[in-house]
Amino acid sequence: MKAEQISVFLENKAGRLCEVTQVLAEAQVNIRALALADTSDFGVLRLIVDDTEKAKDTLKKAGFTVGKTNVLAVEVPDRPGGLYDILNLLQSSGINVEYMYAFVQQSGSNAVMIFRFDNTDDALKVIQANGLRVIDGKTLYGM
Amino acid sequence: MIYDIEYETMPREALEAIQFRRLKATIDRCYASVPFYRKNFEAAGITPGAIQSLQDLPKLPFTTKQDLRDNYPFGMFAVPMENVVRIHASSGTTGQPTVVGYTARDVDTWAGLMARSLMAGGATRGDIIHNAYGYGLFTGGLGAHYGAEKLGASVIPVSGGNTKRQVVIMKDFGPTILTATPSYALHLAEVADEMGVSFRDLKFKYGIFGAEPWSESMREEIEEKLGLVAVDIYGLSEVIGPGVAMECHEAKKGLHIFEDHFIPEIINPETGEVLPYGETGELVFTSITKEAFPVIRYRTRDITSLNPEPCICGRTMARMNKVSGRSDDMLIIRGVNVFPSQIESVLMEMKNVEPHYQLVVDREGQLDILTVMVEVSESMFSDEVKTLQGMEKEITKNIKDYLGVSAKVKLVEPKVIARSQGKAVRVIDNRKI
């Protein structure tokens, strides 16, 4: 049920983000969602793409440091309190969110959030036990 | 195995007798045929006759890199040009290049010393030597080449650069000995990895690495990544080139100095005073067999110590410890002496951190700012910013703890720091002092 995310180390230099997207464009890799975390010196770009392995290999060949992490794509009811319910549930189970970002496409009438938890396996159990829908990697990459 | 068993295992007394005879001849010749040495001796108020024993050597004045530069290009040669068969020169990255010359006999002496070195490092005549030291004005390539031929091994004169082709050659020709700078050896491993070739599957048994200082922890990394036994070779073109001293693969504990050709001394770099065995200071060499380019008490600027203890390999020649730095690439950061090799040791002791680093020194107002740039490898990378920042903090703290100097640590993308072909650029000093 987990989805794969790739992360790329970037120095804070003009044009680096542009180069990542160029490498992916030339490899015909489609970006499904992304988030950038930055400090004054460097940034970490996180990406969900339609072909994780291809994206990873091409970026590595282009000289980037690339990592791969498991994340969860969770459907969030598109109404006030939808996100609160989920976060409250996880917090009371002792699971922390390392970071999260929104997926571009909706799943039906629900929004989709990408979560990176400190304990992915436990988080998955809690979410599923409470009837929330997790979108598996394959479905997500093609949405 | 020992290439020149008679000389390399000679008892100390016999060795010293030979040393004195050769020293005396060198001093006489320098005084008679090199105007610089005559002037230098006269300025110090000394004549060759004052040297009555080896213990008198410290009476002679030093020769420095600046002296060689002042006599550019051929002013230090002790023979007429028609007797010089080879010329090498340093790259001159830190000033005017220094030019050295060899007679036919010097070339032969050098080849013999390199044959000794290669054998001490594990090579025999049955080996195939992949020689990735640069060929040309740099002494590394041709020095190792002539030594390999003298030994009777098969040498692949691949030189530096064209790394992908080197990997193919290593795969197809099956060399068993690698000679290269340590930073280029790691670069070869990286490129091989990118090409899907595992160094550990190649046939290498021994690697003979030198021409730049490298730490004990870098040795461990090279041995692990390349699947070979890594030994250290020492030399400098001003003295003869590689083959001045060589670590034996049996002990891997210090480099045997070929004392029948070079007399080593350790001095206090500030006072010039000679230090006893075991004390750390600047290494000074006097060549005692060279014809075209003899040097008397040449200050290498390399920092090390000497160890006269007998070695398990059977060689009686004193050993110098691994060079821990250079008295001239020593950085003084807010009053603290810093050698790049110390920073390297700090990095290597941390899990997952690669030894690809560069020190940049700036002066803001009156304050020196040391920035340590460290390349982010896949093994240390994380998708979490806090993990990476934690690593920066940990490096900063370890540098502060071990060296007593505050540094700003900056993580950079791989391959930002120039290395590969020749010597890695470890220090960029932007201070205008």
Residue pair B156/B169 in contact (Cβ under 8 Å)? The answer is: yes
Q: Which letter, b or e, does each residue of B3-26 get, where b requires 16 or more Cβ atoms within 10 Å of its Cβ?
A: bbeebbebeeeebbebbbebbbeb
Instruction: Work out the average pLDDT over B227-254.
Output: 96
Q: Domain boundary at A69, A84, A100, which?
A: A69
Contacts of A64 in chain B (CB under 8 A): 413-414
Interior CA angle at B284 toward B283 and B286, to 5°?
145
pTM for the structure as a whole: 0.69
Name residues 17-76 of chain A within 8 A of B (Cβ). Answer: 37-39, 41-42, 44, 46, 61, 63-67, 69
| pLDDT for residue B94 is more than 50 | no
The residue of chain B nearest to residue A71, with distances taken between CA atoms, is B383
| pLDDT for residue B356 is more than 90 | no
Query: Can you give the CATH number for the domain in which A114 is found?
Result: 3.30.70.260
Domain count, chain A: 2
- Position B325 scores a pLDDT of 73
What would the pLDDT profile of B296-311 be if each residue is shown by its tens digit? Answer: 999 998 999 999 998 9
List CB contacts of A92: < 8 A, sequence separation 6 or more. Answer: none
- Position A106 scores a pLDDT of 83
How far is B302 from B297, CA to CA, in rounded Å? 13
Confirm or reject contact between A117 and chain B (CB < 8 A). no
Residue A61 and residue A106 share a domain: no
How far is B217 from B236, CA to CA, in rounded Å? 23
Chain A closest-CA separation from residue B222 CA (Å): 21
Radius of gyration of chain B (CA): 22
Residue A127 and residue A89 share a domain: yes
Residue A92 and residue A46 share a domain: no
Domain of A45, in residue numbers: 3-69
Contacts of B414 in chain A (CB under 8 A): 63-65
What would the pLDDT profile of A3-38 be if each residue is shown by its tens digit? Answer: 999 999 999 888 889 999 999 999 999 999 999 998
3-state secondary structure (DSSP) of residue A91: helix
Residue A78 and residue A40 share a domain: no
| Beta pairing partners, B411 | B374
- Position B218 scores a pLDDT of 84
Q: Domain boundary at A49, A69, A89, which?
A: A69
Contacts of A42 in chain B (CB under 8 A): 376, 388, 411-412
- Position B402 scores a pLDDT of 83
How far is B53 from B177, CA to CA, in rounded Å? 41
Q: Out of B377, B410, B416, whose CB is closest to A41?
A: B410
Q: Helices marked H in B96-229 — which ranges?
A: 104-120, 139-151, 163-173, 182-194, 216-226
- Position B41 scores a pLDDT of 96
How far is B101 from B88, CA to CA, in rounded Å? 6
| Beta pairing partners, B262 | B287
Measure Cα distances from B377 to B380, B383, B412 in Å: 6, 13, 9
Side chain identity, residue A75: E
Decide if A67 and B411 are in contact by the 8 Å CB cutoff: no
What the block records as the tokens of B268 is 């206090």
- Position B246 scores a pLDDT of 98
- Please provide the average confidence, as pLDDT, over all residues in chain B: 91
Residue A110 and residue A64 share a domain: no
Chain B closest-CA separation from residue A121 CA (Å): 18
Mutating which of A65, A68, A96 best tests the B interface, going by the most B Cβ atoms within 10 A?
Answer: A65
Confirm or reject contact between B352 and chain A (CB < 8 A). no
Residue A52 and residue A9 share a domain: yes
Residue at token pair 């795969």: B171
Contacts of A37 in chain B (CB under 8 A): 385
Least confident of A107-116, B150-159, B173-182, B330-339: B330-339
Most confident of A78-82, B291-295, B343-347, B401-405: B291-295
- Position B92 scores a pLDDT of 45
- Position B213 scores a pLDDT of 72
Q: How many residues does chain B have?
A: 433
What the block records as the tokens of A53 is 């392995």
Spatial CA neighbour of B205 closest among B154, B145, B149, B129? B129
Decide if B383 and A65 are in contact by the 8 Å CB cutoff: no
Residue A91 and residue A63 share a domain: no
Chain A closest-CA separation from residue B113 CA (Å): 41
What is the rounded end-to-end Cα distance, in angstroms, of chain B?
51
**What's the CA dihedral at B240, B242, B244, B247 to 10 degrees?**
180
What would the pLDDT profile of B268-326 be if each residue is shown by its tens digit? Answer: 998 999 999 999 999 999 999 999 999 999 999 899 999 999 899 999 999 999 988 77
Residue at token pair 């930055």: A38
Decide if B385 and A7 are in contact by the 8 Å CB cutoff: no
> Could you give the domains of chain B?
1-326 (3.40.50.12780), 331-429 (3.30.300.30)
- Position B422 scores a pLDDT of 53
What would the pLDDT profile of B35-83 be if each residue is shown by its tens digit? Answer: 999 999 999 999 999 999 999 999 999 999 889 989 999 999 999 999 9
What would the pLDDT profile of B199-212 be if each residue is shown by its tens digit? Answer: 999 999 999 999 87
Instruction: Work out the average pLDDT over B87-111.
Output: 83
Q: How crowded is residue B291: how many other Cβ atoms within 10 Å of its Cβ?
A: 20
Residue A49 and residue A107 share a domain: no
Q: Out of A39, A63, A64, whose CB is closest to B385?
A: A39
Decide if A7 and B383 are in contact by the 8 Å CB cutoff: yes
Most confident of B95-99, B287-291, B366-370: B287-291
**What's the CA dihedral at B86, B141, B158, B358 to 10 degrees?**
-140
Residue A7 and residue A64 share a domain: yes
Q: Domain boundary at A44, A69, A94, which?
A: A69
How far is A17 from B59, CA to CA, in rounded Å? 64
Instruction: Work out the average pLDDT over B321-334.
Output: 77
Decide if A9 and B416 are in contact by the 8 Å CB cutoff: no
Contacts of A98 in chain B (CB under 8 A): 384
Contacts of B194 in chain A (CB under 8 A): 61
How far is A141 from B58, CA to CA, in rounded Å? 76
- Position B93 scores a pLDDT of 40
Residue pair B153/B129 in contact (Cβ under 8 Å)? The answer is: yes
What would the pLDDT profile of A51-102 be if each residue is shown by its tens digit? Answer: 999 999 999 999 899 999 999 999 999 899 999 999 999 999 999 999 999 9
Decide if B385 and A37 are in contact by the 8 Å CB cutoff: yes
The residue of chain B nearest to residue A99, with distances taken between CA atoms, is B384
Residue A82 and residue A40 share a domain: no
3-state secondary structure (DSSP) of residue B297: coil
Interface ipTM above 0.95: no
Residue pair A44/B388 in contact (Cβ under 8 Å)? The answer is: yes
Query: Can you give the CATH number for the domain in which A16 is found?
Result: 3.30.2130.10
| Beta pairing partners, A74 | A113, A134
Residue A121 and residue A63 share a domain: no
Residue A135 and residue A96 share a domain: yes
Measure Cα distances from B84 to A66, B74, B97, B105 in Å: 54, 11, 19, 10
Q: Out of B385, B412, B415, whose CB is closest to A44?
A: B385
Residue pair A66/A15 in contact (Cβ under 8 Å)? The answer is: no
- Position B160 scores a pLDDT of 86
- Position B405 scores a pLDDT of 83
How far is B363 from B304, CA to CA, in rounded Å? 29
The residue of chain B nearest to residue A45, with distances taken between CA atoms, is B383
Spatial CA neighbour of B95 closest among B67, B119, B63? B67
Residue at token pair 């950061």: B333
- Could you tell me what percent of chain B has a pLDDT over 90? 71
Contacts of B377 in chain A (CB under 8 A): 65
Q: Out of B389, B413, B415, whose CB is closest to A9?
A: B413
Confirm or reject contact between B196 and chain A (CB < 8 A). no
The residue of chain A nearest to residue B389, with distances taken between CA atoms, is A39
Measure Cα distances from B64 to A81, B272, B340 in Å: 78, 12, 23
